[in-house]
């Protein structure tokens, strides 16, 4: 697996530091609008890519929380470009009147946020904010609002820290690019 890596784009140490910064900002913003003792939030990670990021993030947020789940597919199989976001399943619980933080791994087309935020809002949430680990430098992405962004990255296909290629590489601790032959060989 490690021999498939072309280069490390963002190290696990950079990720850890940025996750702590994001958690502090989310905590500060959330507590400013609520009584500190009664503050609550519902965290909704987009599965499966955001699970590692979300796990690290929520351990740094000292607010009472619930967790809802959404499974969304954008890169089925060996695709390296989004195929459009499709909601596969949800287990949200009652989010009516709750402050919701949607957590996703990567903002590359905006399709997931555009599909999911209205779904959450339609259930009567008090607010919906979005947090993404990565935001690609791609046309159209600037038109999609993310309230919290970990890193801006070039328009490259990346894996690691929850992001996958054909369901592999999620367990890498860094955000990396793969060697070209890995992607082109699997297409044959």
pLDDT in the model for residue 175? 98
> Which helix (H) or strand (E) element contains residue 6?
strand 5-10
The class (CATH top level) of 13-31+39-153 is alpha beta
- Supply the DSSP string of 119-184, one letter for each residue: HHHTTT-SEEEEEEEEEE--TTGGGS--SEEEEEE-S---BBTTB-BTTBSTT-SSEEEEPHHHHH
Give φ, ψ of 141 to 5 degrees.
Answer: -65, -35
DSSP β-bridge partners for residue 187: none
Reported as a single tens digit per residue, the pLDDT across 31-50 is: 876 666 677 999 999 988 89
What are the residue numbers of the active site?
Answer: 108
| Poorest-pLDDT segment among 55-64, 68-77, 105-114 | 68-77
Reported as a single tens digit per residue, the pLDDT across 120-175 is: 999 999 999 999 999 999 887 778 889 999 999 999 999 999 999 988 999 999 99
Per the confidence metrics, is the pTM higher than 0.85?
Answer: yes
């Amino acid at each position: 697996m490690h021999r498939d890596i072309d280069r490390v784009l963002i190290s696990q140490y950079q990720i850890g530091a940025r996750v702590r910064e994001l958690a502090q900002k989310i905590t500060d913003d959330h507590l400013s609008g609520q009584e500190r003792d009664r503050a609550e939030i519902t965290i909704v990670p987009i599965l499966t890519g955001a699970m590692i990021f979300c796990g690290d993030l929520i351990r740094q947020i000292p607010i009472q929380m619930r967790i809802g789940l959404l499974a969304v597919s954008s890169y089925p199989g060996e695709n390296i470009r989004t195929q459009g976001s499709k909601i596969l399943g949800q287990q949200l619980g009652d989010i009516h009147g709750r402050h919701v933080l949607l957590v996703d791994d990567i903002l590359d087309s905006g399709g997931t946020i555009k599909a999911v935020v209205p779904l959450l809002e339609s259930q009567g949430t008090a607010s919906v904010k979005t947090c993404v680990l990565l935001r690609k430098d791609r046309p159209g992405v600037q038109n999609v609002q993310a309230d919290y962004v970990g890193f801006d990255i070039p328009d490259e296909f990346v894996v690691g820290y929850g992001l996958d290629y054909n369901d592999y590489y999620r367990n890498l601790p860094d955000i990396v690019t793969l060697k070209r032959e890995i992607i082109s060989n699997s297409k044959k």
